[in-house]
Amino acid sequence: MGAEGHADGTVGKALDVLDMVARHGRPLRFSDLLVQSDYPKATLYRLLQTLTHQGMLTLDPDQGTYALGVRLVRLAHAAWAQSSLAPIARPYLDELAEKTGETIHLAQMDLGQVLYVDKRNAARPVEMFAQAGKVGPAYCTGVGKAMLAWLHPDQLDQALARQSFHRHTDQTLDTPEKLMAELQAIRARGHAFDREEHEKGIICCAVPILTRSGRVLGALSVTSTTARTTLAALEEQAGLTKDIAARIAAEAESWRFPEQN
Amino acid sequence: MGAEGHADGTVGKALDVLDMVARHGRPLRFSDLLVQSDYPKATLYRLLQTLTHQGMLTLDPDQGTYALGVRLVRLAHAAWAQSSLAPIARPYLDELAEKTGETIHLAQMDLGQVLYVDKRNAARPVEMFAQAGKVGPAYCTGVGKAMLAWLHPDQLDQALARQSFHRHTDQTLDTPEKLMAELQAIRARGHAFDREEHEKGIICCAVPILTRSGRVLGALSVTSTTARTTLAALEEQAGLTKDIAARIAAEAESWRFPEQN
DNA sequence: CCGTTTGGTTCCATTATGTGAAACTTTGTC
DNA sequence: GACAAAGTTTCACATAATGGAACCAAACGG
């Protein structure tokens, strides 16, 4: 088990435990955690104590179960507020959503996975926390491929190593080779498509958000269904989407020199 | 400088650093952090490396600044989703907001401070992430006092030790003694008032959310302004608010036995 | 009732880990 | 080309994490 990475040091282990609690949606007992982790009893116990004492976990004394603590929520608030893109991008997402009438995703890269940090739903209003924070695969989503395509070679290697290449649909690019070829095409074209590679019937057109120096900040996608539109139609929005992406990038970059003299 | 608690062990220090980054809204440089923390250079450096490597922080290579990492956002998503009350309480908050027409706060206790986990604004629609996650003082807010009043003596002591008793307005209860007397009254009455103790012109009526065993899960408040209404008028909503609080508590408690046989 | 199991907590000798002063390497400045 | 500021690495040392085993408490079962 323990598909987790090389846990460096004590804090690595502690965070590993945190993830373990986070993964299962529900409060867990000590023994539940014990069987999953390959840490010995006493070690795990101490880690849990520390995390609890630090407010990262909460121990429900009635049930004897551990859940993620409130300190995380507080940190998250700060994380979201300062995680470069999300707060800056807000008005631009609104604009893009309004102009296209489609679902918009704003994503960033998280250790080879795609992390959705904001979203505009075609139908209903926002509902932030409930949807942001989700993760998805990189190799078979529009935003994922858009980011991979412009990633620094080193980081790309790392990211590729973390892809499962599970065949979600019969369109899924299920080998590194196929994906590399696709990334090449994406770079040439300037934007990425999702041709129902992740979910049957879901298509999208995605563009990267890049700094002037070419670093990948995130990606932006316009998503729809085959029932409602076609890839070709979505591609017509690519220009607008790129424009918005550029404006987000510009603002993100200019936004870096607050007080220091 | 180091107003932080007793940092137990290495993870304590690491989390301390995380908080430090979180506190300042903006990306920080190594040297910025160095002057604030009283950790020696090398130690801080290693902590930052570990946290960065773990995805809890991000090092912007262009600027050499640290910001909170995406892993945190992911964890937070889980935290919010499972932090007992917030997701359960949603529909109830909607109901309360609709029936009262006032601003509603849902809060939990976080190391002696009040953490707002959800909110309904009287005027505009939701806007979750931007508002939840905020913290405030316990001794001079309605939700804070409501929770303190029913806290277990041990925890109450801890919480009291963390209050600043800063005099925000001339109504603020600025000593532990005054506060203790007030808590007594609150227990007797069953709900807490905020008599412009935190902010001039802002009043509220708050009730605790308690388990059957009497443990404090959180608090719920109906907030308004002196311009719009009076405490007496707000108190008329206390019955309804208590009712809603009870229903939230009931659902939170029944929600605890997922799979285990 | 008393033996047994299960779930949780504490001990403590061992050693791995983290520590931090100082030295070193960049990178930027005049 | 010397100087400084910012960031990174080293290494002898001590603290802090480790985990096997013992312990405790409550639930079970006969």
Smallest CA-to-CA distance from B218 within B253, B255, B185 is with: B253
Kindly list the structural domains of chain A, giving each domain's residue range(s) and its CATH number in brackets, ordered by start.
Answer: 9-73 (1.10.10.10), 83-254 (3.30.450.40)
pLDDT tens sequence for chain B (261 residues): 333 445 578 899 999 889 888 888 778 888 888 888 888 889 999 999 999 888 898 887 777 888 888 888 788 778 877 776 887 888 899 899 999 989 899 999 887 889 888 888 766 444 444 456 678 899 999 999 999 999 988 789 888 988 999 999 999 999 999 999 999 999 999 999 999 999 999 999 999 999 888 889 999 999 999 988 999 999 999 999 999 999 999 888 776 543 322
How far apart are the C-alpha atoms of A71 and A57, rounded to whole Å? 8
For residue range B96-113, what is the model confidence (pLDDT) as tens digits? 999 998 989 999 988 788
CA–C1' B54–C26 (A): 26
The pLDDT score that the predictor gives to residue A132 is 62
Q: What is the mean pLDDT of residues A150-157?
A: 87
Q: Which residues of B touch A127 (CB under 8 A)?
A: 126, 128
Specify the amino acid at residue A226.
T
Query: Could you check: is the Cβ of residue A43 within 7 Å of any atom of nucleic acid strand D?
Result: yes
Q: Which residues of B touch A55 (CB under 8 A)?
A: 110-111
Taking the C1' atom of every nucleotide in all shown strands and the CA of B14, the nearest one is: C18
Q: What is the mean pLDDT of residues A123-148?
A: 75
Predicted confidence band of residue A1 (pLDDT cuts 50, 70, 90): very low
Which pLDDT does position A255 carry in this prediction?
61
For chain A, give the mean pLDDT.
85
Residues A175, A177, A182, CA angle at the centre, nearest 5°? 100
**Three state DSSP letters for B146-179:** HHHHCCCHHHHHHHHHCCCCCCCCCCCCCCHHHH
Give start and end residues of each alpha helix (H) in chain A: 9-23, 30-36, 41-53, 70-82, 85-100, 128-131, 142-149, 153-161, 176-189, 231-235, 238-254
Q: What residues contact A225, with CB distance under 8 A and at least 6 apart? A: A201, A202, A203
**Which nucleotide is the nearest neighbour of A39, by CA and C1'?**
D19
pLDDT value of position A222: 95
Please tell me the number of Cα atoms within 13 Å of A185 on its side-chain side: 9
Q: Which of A156-165, A207-216, B122-131, B136-145 has the highest mean pLDDT?
A: B136-145
- Residues present in chain A in total: 261
- Kindly tell me if the per-residue pLDDT of A261 is higher than 80: no
Contacts with B189 (C-beta within 8 Å, 6 or more apart), sequence order: none
Q: State the pairing for strand pair A28-29/A65-68.
A: antiparallel
**Cβ distance of A81 and B9 shorter than 8 Å:** no
Q: Which of A43-47, A185-189, B97-101, B108-112 has the lowest mean pLDDT?
A: B108-112
Mean pLDDT in residue range A74-102? 83
Q: How far apart are CA B67 and CA B52, in angstroms?
A: 9
Of A53-62, A185-194, B34-43, give the range with the top mean pLDDT. A185-194
Mean pLDDT over A118-130 rounds to 58
Residue of B11, B109, B111, B128 to mutate when probing chain A, most A C-beta within 10 A: B11
CA–CA separation, A231 and A194 (whole Å):
9
Which of B74, B82, B154 should one mutate to test binding to chain A, selecting the residue with the greatest count of A CBs within 10 A? Answer: B74
Helices (H), B54-167: 70-82, 85-100, 128-131, 142-149, 153-161
